[in-house]
Amino acid sequence: MWTDAGAPAGMPSLFERGGDLISFAGGLPDLDLLPLEELSGQLARLTRLGGRIALQYSTPHVARALVPAITDLMAREGGRPVAEDLVPTAGSQMGLLAVALGLGTPGETVLCQTPAYPGATAAFRTAGLLPYAAPEDPEGIDPVALRATAARLRAEGRRVRMLYCNPTFQNPTGATLSTERRHHLLDAAREAELLVVEDDPYGLLGFDGRTTPALQGLDPENVLHLGTFSKVFAPGLRCGWIAAPAPLAGALRRTTEVMALSPSAFAQAALAAFHARGGWDTLIDAYRERYRERCGLMADALDAELGTDGPWRWRRPDGGFYLWLRHTGGADTAGLAPAAEQGVSFVPGAHFGLDGECGDALRLCFSHVPRGRIAEGVARLARVLRGASAAGPERRVA
């Protein structure tokens, strides 16, 4: 911590389970699709034949054997990683903190796409950086206004060097920036001398298999890409990477070394072995199909329970893990926290605001809810939300 004055910035607790709770809260992948038998054979072989290396400390570099697995994933979105500039992480959450600590200076402002993944804003704040909402229009980050915002903040004496975004199947809205908007955004970022930090855990999880060009592939010299195996493989291995512009890789490597000494050689070797045996297609196709189905079931249930002309509005996403609901009357979803008493959980929207905004929204995750529990979960949720609608005006008067 840069100061000892405050506690580290907090994260919502997302992964509680148990009892009769139907959780729409945490962004967990559906690991029923992992080929566990095959994996356990590969892990046994890895331990037997390479255990003394894979279980040893390693260096803060991506293992050579893992590079093809990363290159394969990134190429599917047009990403163009350079092996020497890949920095291993224990998942993108660590990547975010490494970027904040390694590249930021305390007191510096970071422009953020909003609503924002709370782990990103918590990482920035933990490093003493100040998240600030990037200007947006209905298509996403507004490139023209971005230039003006960066100039205004600098004129006010603020230091601004980074723009954080999650451009594909965004957490929490599910929104994707169009290819055209990406080009304009990258031009604007260059003109405004902003390094673009592209957080991309969901880009390969489009329900129809289509991808949108990664910002990294469009401008590798000015985009730092955070990749992770958490959503396309499994988060328990805690394995991800940063594809950095060459001049930044050294600082990031040194920072990750301070954070974790070395990455998990075992996790990297396990992923490399899995990819070498069968590639990514089967698993990623299975995940995509599963999430397409789950999202459809949840959206249909929401239509049935909440109607399409009531106060709650949402858009069906084309990929990713999340549905984002907003209340047109401004109901405060944080006040619905006792929803757990109704046997259902979700994340109140204010967690995704930089300063408590989005209090009228909530995020639902559909990725890991058993098929047969979605309708029941949405029925419980609807009971909670109907209460919110009724209570809304009173709360506004008070």
Ligand X SMILES: Cc1ncc(COP(=O)(O)O)c(C=O)c1O
Q: What residues make contact with ligand X under the rule CB under 6 A?
A: 27, 91-93, 117, 119, 166, 171, 199, 201, 228, 230, 235, 240
Supply the minimum distance, in Å, between the C-beta of residue 376 and ligand X.
25
Closer Cβ to ligand X, 89 or 149, answer by number: 89
**Shortest Cβ contact with ligand X: which residue?**
91
**Nearer of residues 220 and 227 to ligand X, judged by Cβ:** 227
Task: Please say whether the beta carbons of 199 and 164 come within 8 A.
Answer: yes
Q: How many CB atoms lie within 10 A of CB 223?
A: 24
Q: Which is nearer to ligand X, 114 or 166 (CB)?
A: 166
CB-wise, 235 or 359, nearer to ligand X? 235
- Cβ neighbours for 309, distance < 8 A, ≥ 6 positions apart: none
Pick the closer one to ligand X by CB: 26 or 343.
Answer: 26
Helices (H), the chain: 36-54, 67-75, 92-103, 118-126, 143-155, 179-191, 215-218, 246-260, 265-278, 281-306, 374-397
In whole angstroms, the minimum distance from the beta carbon of 46 to ligand X comes to 22
Closer residue to ligand X, CB minimum distance, 131 or 235:
235
Which of 225, 187, 208 has its CA nearest to residue 75? 225
Measured from the CB atom, is 126 or 342 closer to ligand X?
126
Q: Judged by CB, which is closer to ligand X: 87, or 306?
A: 87
Give the nearest distance from C-beta 169 to ligand X in angstroms: 9
Beta strands, E only, 134-249: 136-137, 140-141, 160-165, 195-199, 223-228, 240-243
Q: Which residues contact 239 (CB under 8 A, 6 or more apart)?
A: 88, 89, 90, 91, 228, 229, 230, 233, 263, 264, 267, 268, 271
At its nearest, how many Å lie between ligand X and the CB of residue 239?
8
Q: Which is nearer to ligand X, 112 or 385 (CB)?
A: 112
Which residues neighbour 92 within 8 Å (Cβ) at sequence distance 6 or greater?
199, 201, 226, 227, 228, 230, 240
Q: How far is the CB of 201 from ligand X (least distance, A)?
A: 5
Burial of residue 251 (CB within 10 Å: 0-12, 13-18, 19+) is middle
Shortest CB 50 distance to ligand X, Å: 25
Using CA atoms, how far residue 143 sits from 7, 168, 182, 216, 310, in Å, is 35, 17, 9, 17, 33
CB of 337 to ligand X, least distance (A): 20
Tell the smallest beta-carbon distance from residue 117 to ligand X (Å). Answer: 4
DSSP letters for 31-54: GGGS-HHHHHHHHHHHHHHHHHHH
State in angstroms the smallest separation of the CB of 228 from ligand X.
3
Q: How far is CA 389 from CA 133, 352, 385, in A?
A: 28, 21, 6
